[in-house]
Amino acid sequence: MPDGPLIVQSDKTLLLEVDHPSAEQARRSIAPFAELERAPEHVHTYRLTALGLWNARAAGHDAEQVVSTLIEFSRYPVPHALLVDVAETMARYGRLQLVQDPAHGLVLRSTDRAVLAEVLKSRRTAGLVGERLDDATVAVHPSERGHLKQVLVKLGWPAEDLAGYVDGEKHPIELSPVTKPRTEHEKAAAWEMRPYQAQAVDGFWHGGSGVVVLPCGAGKTIVGAGAMAKSGTTTLILVTNTVSARQWRDELVRRTTLTEDEIGEYSGARKEIKPVTIATYQVLTTKRKGVYTHLELLDARDWGLVLYDEVHLLPAPVFRMTADLQARRRLGLTATLVREDGREDEVFSLIGPKRFDAPWKDIEAQGYIAPADCVEVRLTLPESERMTYATAEMEDKYRLAASASGKKKVVEQIVARHPDDQVLVIGQYIDQLEELAEHLGAPIITGATTTKERQRLFGAFREGEISRLVVSKVANYSVDLPEASVAIQVSGSFGSRQEEAQRLGRIMRPKADGRTAHFYAVVARDTVDQDFAAHRQRFLAEQGYAYRILDAEDLDESPADSSAL
């Protein structure tokens, strides 16, 4: 196609011109093998990675298909070296296979003896494999299946896992066609999965295991529920905190045939094991005298499905435990698969490849998440504070800038601009938040707040009894506040991109009246606060959320609604 929507660069990035008539078709065609890296307004950037290409192989695409897709949609001739590289990379997949041998159990088999020899010679595979059975086969300890797969990916010879999954204990789970009322006032309403949710569930189920990436507020819980219904087995759900665990339980009760009795909570507070058990990462990783005391949970039942909520937060010990769960189906859910520690690849190799990914703006365009307007408000520090800042030690600088006194007034101004909205004020530093709460006369939730109090306050906020809420980072994730439409971020944990995105996610549930959500980041000018903010915004900017930048002094003049701009 001489005038295709795609430009293939020799550094393995693919530039997709969004406004091109065949852009959608091109996007669908390249999605199986290319990673979406940036999705700003005009040109989206995809990248070809070895892992992505191998995942495509695992999903049944071959190099020829990839090459012809690139050539078909490319506007300019595709660099020759890249095509060769694609073919060579994809040819590396599947030379090694993990299979169940009737006599020897799990074995690693090779169609290419040299590759097997090379892999076995590596120090990294030592201890993961057992006896050499013949020229092309070597026994594998079943417990090392995950580790071995990880190591093989690092060695550049990914294994095709044909060993399959255990079926797990059967437990009937169905999606209920109508929502079960939460309170007496609420009426049962008919519902069904949105198309992209159904697509995500199918993608996952065909692949066996993997990760589904959906924006905050796009209904990841429902994808989880759909997967459980497909599986129809006992399920272990791992979540970030207790509040989130309860939200999962409520949502499952509402949307499926499961009853409260069938769902157990395994957290610091309660230790129930039921056909569907929701556990927190924290309790799993609790160590007593150097031993993980709650590991038996993983073997407590013959789980047919393990679900990881917010998989981008997966702590290192859970990574290791997950490696032992390779025989069970695994589903990871996340909105932001970016990790500042760069361990995205481990997520892919342990949980499974990315099975579904949609740019935020696409879902927004379909109306399933609220359109959001992101504004960075720049505050000029007064002379005295600038002096303090300039002379402060490096480690104190962020704290000083982030909790600048001027932010109070800015927050007040912003709150005043949104008299009718549910407003969240989010920050990092407790004393700053307490000061703000006092100033605004709003309740505050921090790590010190009890779960019960948290639930009460969130409940009141949902019901609209209170319209202002000050929260610390405890509300970063998995807190479902459908009607919150304004978030003001006064400080954050340095340059964390996913925190920014998750905070924006708090206000992205579609509103009843379809109104735009507003996200404000208040930043002190010419300080590290500004630099961190720039880094934090990168993920969202790449998802197409362009931040407007306002000077704090101009707040009064500028209208609240971006559409008027």
Which residues would be at the binding site for other proteins (CB under 8 A)? 7-11, 13, 15, 17, 38, 40-43, 45, 75-77, 79-81, 526, 538, 541-542, 544-549
Burial of 121 (0-12, 13-18, 19+ CB in 10 A): exposed
Q: Name 106's bridge partners.
A: 100
CB of 238 to other proteins, least distance (A): 33
CB of 48 to other proteins, least distance (A): 12
* Residue 243 or 410 having the CB closest to other proteins: 410
| Cβ neighbours, 10 Å, residue 22 | 16
Residue 81 beta carbon to other proteins: minimum distance, rounded to whole angstroms: 8
Min separation Cβ 84 and other proteins, Å: 9
We find the least distance from the C-beta atom of residue 548 to other proteins, in angstroms, to be: 5
Decide whether 125 or 537 has the Cβ nearer to other proteins: 537
Which lies closer to other proteins via its Cβ, residue 41 or residue 174?
41
Residue 545 CB, nearest distance to other proteins (Å)?
8
Q: How far is it, in rounded angstroms, from Cα 409 to Cα 406?
A: 6
DSSP 477-530: SS---TTEEEEEE---STT-HHHHHHHHHTT-SPPTT-PPEEEEEEEETTSHHH
The CA-based angle 332-158-14, given to 5 degrees, is 70
Q: Which is nearer to other proteins, 120 or 549 (CB)?
A: 549
Q: Report the nearest approach of other proteins to the CB of residue 171 (Å).
A: 46
Q: Is the dihedral of CA 267, 273, 278, 280 positive or negative?
A: positive
In the complex with other proteins, the residue whose CB is nearer, 43 or 474, is 43
- As measured in angstroms, the least distance from the Cβ of 491 to other proteins is 21
Contact 398, 532 (CB under 8 A): yes
Residue 321: HSE in the Cβ half-sphere, 13 Å Cα cutoff: 21
Neighbours of 463 (CB within 10 A): 10
Q: Of 78 and 140, which CB lies nearer to other proteins in the complex structure?
A: 78
348 close to 315: Cβ distance less than 8 angstroms? no
Say if CB 490 and CB 436 are below 8 A apart.
yes
Rg (CA), the chain: 25
Task: For helices 242-255 and 451-463, give the axis angle rounded to 10 degrees.
Answer: 50
Instruction: Give which of 490, 483, 536 is closest to 511, Cα–Cα.
Output: 483
In angstroms, give the least distance from the CB of 35 to other proteins.
Answer: 15
CA dihedral 512, 518, 519, 522 (to 10 degrees): -150
With respect to other proteins, which residue has the nearer C-beta, 15 or 273? Answer: 15
Do residues 211 and 51 make contact, with C-beta atoms less than 8 angstroms apart?
Answer: no
Angle between helices 528-542 and 394-402 (to 10 degrees): 70
Least distance (Å) from other proteins to the CB of residue 82?
A: 9
- Identify which of residues 158 and 544 has a Cβ nearer to other proteins in the complex: 544
Are the beta carbons of 465 and 492 closer than 8 angstroms?
A: no
Least Å distance between CB 514 and other proteins?
23
Q: Which is nearer to other proteins, 10 or 25 (CB)?
A: 10
Nearer Cβ to other proteins, position 75 or 180?
A: 75
Comparison of 6 and 445: residue with beta carbon closer to other proteins = 6
The Cα 529–Cα 399 span in angstroms is 8
